[in-house]
Each structure stands twice: as structure tokens, then as C-alpha cells.
Amino acid sequence: MDKILEKSDELGRLIAGTEAARQFHEMEERVSADSTASLLLKKYNEFAEMIRIKQESGFQIESYEADEFSQITDSVSSNSLLREYVISRNKYMEMLLKINNALSL
């Protein structure tokens, strides 16, 4: 077990040292420092979660909710900082998924 924990710690350090991880964490800091972007991202995430829960529970998304989510999504897309954040997040998540898939073999 100790050997596995040692290797997992090593893997964690390797992941943290990647360009994808570095860029993602840098973008997280930049978004946190920008109150407008931070608030918009928080609103987007909360709304997306609400929609996900409604769909999983079998409830229909009302047209006004879809319209509001579309407006929030447009606002996120038009914010250059959030566009950069989403790109860096996607690259980081893609890397983690590849690592997870490799570990699952």
C-alpha cells in the first residue's frame, strides 16, 4: 500500500507540473481576481447545476429558464477572460480523463 501511495504522490506532482495544470490554475486565479468574471462564472455554474438537477429529476426546463441560461451562456462566451478559462479548463480535464483512462486499464 505504501508503494501505491508513493506512486500516486509522484503522479500528483507530475500532473501539477504539466502545462495544462499550470495554465488552468493561473486562469482560476485570474478569474477569482476579476469580480465580474467570477460572478458571471458562479451564476453560470449555479444555473447549469439547477438545469441538470431538473432534468435528472424528470422535470421539464421552462422556456424562460432556457432563455435565461442562453443569455448567461452568451455573456460567458463574450467575456474573453472566461473564454480563456474554459479553454484551459477543457485542456486540463481532457488530460485528467486520459490519465484516468490509462489507470483503468
CATH number of the CATH domain containing 93: 1.20.1500.10
Q: What is the pLDDT along the chain (105 residues), one digit of tens a residue?
A: 999 999 999 999 999 999 999 999 999 999 999 999 999 999 999 999 999 999 999 999 999 999 999 999 999 999 999 999 999 999 999 999 999 999 886
User: For residue 78, what are the domain limits?
Assistant: 2-103
HSE, CB side, 13 Å, CA atoms: give it for residue 103: 10
HSE, CB side, 13 Å, CA atoms: give it for residue 14: 9
Our measurement of the distance from residue 7's CA atom to the centroid of its chain's CA atoms, rounded to an integer in Å, reads 26
**pTM for this prediction:** 0.81
Number of domains in the chain: 1
